[in-house]
Amino acid sequence: MKESRAQSGPAAKRGSEEGLGSPERRGRDVPAKKKSRRIRWLIYLIFWAALVGSFGWLAIDQASQYSALRNEIEQVKAETERAVSAHEALERQIAFIGSDAYIEQQARERLGLVKPTEIIFRNLGR
C-alpha cells in the first residue's frame, strides 16, 4: 500500500510526466531561468545606466553653459568699467575746457599771446 500512495501523490505525477522530474530536464530549466533573469537584469542595468548617463550629460552641458555665461558676464563687466572710466575722463576734459586755465593755455599755444607783464625769450637758432 505504501507504494500505491507514493505513486498516487504529487511526486508520482511529476515522475509520470515525460522528463519533468528527471535531472536532465531540471538541469536545462535552471540555466534558462538564470538566463532570463540575467537578461532582465541586463536590461534594467542598461536602462538605469542610460538614465544616469543622460542626467550626467545634462549636468555637464549645463555646467559648460554656466561657465560660458559667467565668462560673458565678466567680459561685459570689464567693458562697462572701461566705458565708465572713459566717461569720467571725458567729463574731466569738459570741465577743463570750460575753465580759465584751458582758455589761457590755448591762447598762449595757438595764438602766441602773453600777459602784459611777461617777458618773451626766443632762441635765435642756437
Neighbour-count burial for 55-76, b at 16+ CB within 10 Å, e otherwise: eeeeeeeeeeeeeeeeeeeeee
Q: How far is CA 63 from CA 26, 67, 70, 74, in A?
A: 55, 6, 10, 16
Rounded to an integer, what distance in angstroms lies between the CA atom of residue 66 and that of residue 73?
10
Q: What is the pLDDT of residue 112?
A: 84
What is the rounded distance in angstroms from the CA atom of residue 119 to the CA atom of residue 125? 19
Give the pLDDT of residue 46: 94
The residue ranges of the chain whose pLDDT is under 50 are 1-6, 15-17
- pLDDT score of 6: 47
Give residue 10's pLDDT. Answer: 54
Amino acid 54: pLDDT: 92
pLDDT of residue 1: 47
Domain ranges of the chain: 14-111
- What is the reported pLDDT for 71? 97
Instruction: Return d(Cα 40, Cα 28) in angstroms, integer.
Output: 19
The pLDDT of residue 66 is 95
